[in-house]
Every structure is written in C-alpha cells, then in structure tokens.
C-alpha cells in the first residue's frame, strides 16, 4: 500500500515540477488517442447507421465481425499491422512503421469496432415508425441521418467514450507498431510497461495515475454532456 501512495505522490511531484518528459508523453498520448477516436467516429458512425437501417446479403457476417472486433486482442491487431507496414510488407513503401501515424492506425482499428457496435445498437433502438414518418414528410437522406443523430445522441456519446477508452488504454499494438521510442512514439501505457520491466515501481505507478486521471477527465467531460442532454 505504501508503494501505491509513493507512486501517487511521485505523480503529483512530476506534474507540479513541470517534468518535461511526462508532459510530453501525456500530450502525445492524448494526441494519438484523440486522432484515432476521431477517425473511428468519422468512419464508424456511418457504417453503424448502414448496418442498422439496411438489410442486405452478408449483413449478419459483418455484424458478427464487428462484435468479434470488439473483443479482438490488441497484439493480434499489432501483428497484422506490423506485417503490412514493415519494409517487406505491402505498405512498407509508406515508411510509417514505428511512427505516431502507425500508432494512430493501430488504435483506430481497435476503436472502430466499438464505435460501429455502439452506433448500430443505438440507431437500431429508434422506433422504425419514426424513420418512416421522416421519409413520408419528404426528408432527404441527410436530413434523416441528422434527425437520427439527434435521437440517438446519448448512444453516440457512449460510442465516443467506448472508442476513446479502447484507444487510450491500448498497449500491445502500440508497442508493436510504435516500438516505444523515447521522444517519438512513447505513450503512457507503453511507458508504464517499460518502467515496470525496469523495476521502477514508483515511476510506473505515477504514470499509471496520470493515465487514469487523463482518461477520467475526458470521460467526465463526455459524461457531463451526455447526462445534461438526458436531463434536457
């Protein structure tokens, strides 16, 4: 127990002292995970809407794949991406392996199933009669999608939280495609693994405290927005 409190005190000391390395790692973590989440929302919400509103051959297989992806081990995603992005791989010419870009892609693939799954479930919960009334009143496709987004905004905010949580907590794939390079691809989860391996327990706990606090703050903002909309 004393070790945990020592780690928490170390986290406070690092922040109050303005430790440049931990601030850099924290900002990099937030930037990479936010970019991955934004891309997941941009791609995932439309996919979830299509799966919820349309029936077509192979839909069941896609939904099953989405549900499987929600529990996909990050190391498997990392392995596949490494094979694709290494110099000998099909996209090796892009030379993005062991860069923040590769980490964004890895986190995108982990957050995307979460966003699609939550969006699909949220939009499916809308009364089909409401959608029919929209079409009957002459609404075009974009107007229908906008009205659906308003009706399902609470579920979509849950999709944001789930996607961001999957991205910011990811370790395995980030280690594989980012290599945990100091000053370039080191983020809070990979730094925790590194310090734990070195036996620097206080530093590892300090970094873990910062990671939990960062995730809590982001989710607090999103939850406040969600609950405020629920009240109104």
**pLDDT tens across 26-80, in order?**
999 999 999 999 999 999 998 998 898 888 899 999 999 999 999 888 999 999 9
Model pTM greater than 0.85?
yes
Q: Can you tell me the mean pLDDT for 142-166?
A: 84
- Match 């399902």 to its residue by tokens: 152
Q: Can you tell me the mean pLDDT for 120-136?
A: 79
Q: How many CB atoms lie within 10 A of CB 183?
A: 9
Look up residue 199 and give its DSSP letter. Answer: T
Q: How far apart are CA 142 and CA 10, in angstroms?
A: 51
Taking the alpha carbons of 168, 166, 194, 202 in that order, is the dihedral positive or negative? positive
Domains of the chain with bracketed CATH: 2-231 (1.10.3720.10)
At residue 18, the pLDDT reads 66
Q: Is the pLDDT of residue 129 over 60?
A: yes
Question: Which two three-digit tokens encode residue 105?
Answer: 């892609």
| Total residue count of the chain as it appears in this document | 232
Question: Which two three-digit tokens encode residue 184?
Answer: 């370039």
Question: pLDDT category, 150, cuts 50, 70, 90?
Answer: confident
Q: Can you tell me the mean pLDDT for 189-204?
A: 87
Taking the alpha carbons of 16, 20, 23, 26 in that order, is the dihedral positive or negative? negative
Can you spell out the DSSP letters for 124-162? HTS-HHHHHHHHHTT--HHHHHHHHHHHTHHHHHHHHHH
The rounded percent of the chain whose pLDDT value lies above 90 is 47
At residue 232, the pLDDT reads 52
């Amino acid at each position: 127990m004393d070790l945990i409190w020592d780690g928490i005190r170390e986290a406070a000391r690092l922040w109050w002292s303005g430790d440049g390395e931990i601030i850099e790692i924290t900002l990099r973590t937030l930037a990479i995970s936010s970019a991955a989440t934004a891309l997941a929302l941009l791609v995932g919400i439309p996919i979830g809407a299509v799966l919820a509103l349309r029936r077509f051959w192979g839909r069941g297989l896609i939904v099953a794949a989405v549900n499987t992806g929600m529990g996909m081990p990050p190391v498997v995603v990392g392995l596949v991406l490494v094979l694709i992005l290494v110099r000998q791989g099909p996209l090796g010419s892009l030379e993005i392996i062991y860069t923040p870009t590769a980490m964004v892609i890895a986190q995108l693939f982990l957050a995307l199933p979460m966003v699609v799954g939550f969006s699909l479930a949220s939009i499916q919960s809308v009364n089909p009669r409401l959608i029919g009334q929209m079409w009957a009143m002459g609404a075009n496709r974009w107007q229908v999608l906008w009205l659906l987004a308003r009706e399902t905004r609470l579920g979509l905010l849950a999709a944001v939280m789930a996607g961001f949580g999957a991205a910011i907590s990811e370790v395995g794939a980030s280690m594989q495609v980012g290599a945990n390079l100091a000053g370039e691809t080191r983020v809070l989860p990979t730094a925790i693994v590194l310090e734990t391996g070195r036996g620097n327990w206080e530093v590892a706990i300090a970094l873990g405290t910062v990671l939990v606090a960062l995730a809590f703050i982001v989710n607090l903002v999103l939850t406040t927005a969600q609950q405020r909309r629920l009240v109104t």
